[in-house]
Amino acid sequence: MEIISENACFGGVQGVYSHRSDSCDCDMTFGLFLPAEAKDGPVPVLWYLSGLTCTHENAMVKAAAQGWAAEQGIALIFPDTSPRGDGVANDDAYDLGQGAGFYVNASENPWAPHFQMYDYVTKDLTELVFSKFPLDASRQAITGHSMGGHGALTIAMKEVGRFASVSAFSPICNPTDSDWGKKQFTAYLGSDEAKWVDHDASLLMADRGFDGPVLIDTGTKDQFLDLLRPETLAQAAAAKRQEITFRMQPGYDHSYFFVSTFMEDHITFHAEALYA
């Protein structure tokens, strides 16, 4: 692991690091905020998965998360959204290829050699951060925005028992029936739609649910509402009788202005679960 930068931040340290990922077969970069309490021992962890076109840096500098995390004594992990590099497959479109990993393990070429983002987040990066930093593996939560909200919800429901809570800002809720999903799942996973089901938050909610609290925020003025399909997740959660807080926030769009406005709510929500 290489230290790219470390800066004092709200009494703790905001670091950026690079490492070799076996899953993605390339170098990957991530951000990690450690609160002051980490000097005295392992602290709880909140994972933040970012959306389309983002890197590790977007939420790290725009989401206004570190101050609230510092108040709660919680670490923040900001993974990248895809593998990158000259030898990594890409596409001219913003919603496929580098910057658009969708947190799945690709089985189709040219994506399969590097686009193993599910394993990267749940295995490679997990093993690294818990071996190198004072983090408490028994107290983890996960959140994300847009494509990252999709990733947070699907990972939380599949990694049973790992996360105390899950939340999402404007998540892609039903990618198997959306243009933000059909295109990418066909490219990454192939044309057999049965393979897509395991990566659809609404379908997973209907089938499995989540053993803990869920918080969802989406703006009523979100310019991508028809692609996000939040109503499908709300309906699945109601049918499953899932413990969930589902909010449509009046006037807010898809931007980081929206994310930063409600970041305090989300970190407080996760703190309650992590310290329960």
**Continuous H helices in 190-255:** 201-207, 225-228, 230-240
Burial of 172 (0-12, 13-18, 19+ CB in 10 A): buried
238 token code pair: 């109601």
How far apart CA 205 and CA 67 sit, in angstroms, is: 32
Cβ(219)–Cβ(253) below 8 Å: yes
- List the beta bridge partners of residue 20: 27
> Closest by alpha carbon to 76, among 120, 121, 38, 31?
31
> Closest by alpha carbon to 193, among 213, 115, 184?
184
Helix, strand, or coil here: 211? coil
How far apart CA 129 and CA 143 sit, in angstroms, is: 17
- The set of catalytic residues is 146, 222, 254
Concatenate the DSSP letters of all residues of 48-91 into one string: EE--TT--SHHHHHHS--HHHHHHHT-EEEEE-SS--STTS---
Q: Does the N-terminal peptide bond of residue 250 adopt cis geometry, omega within 30 degrees of 0? A: no
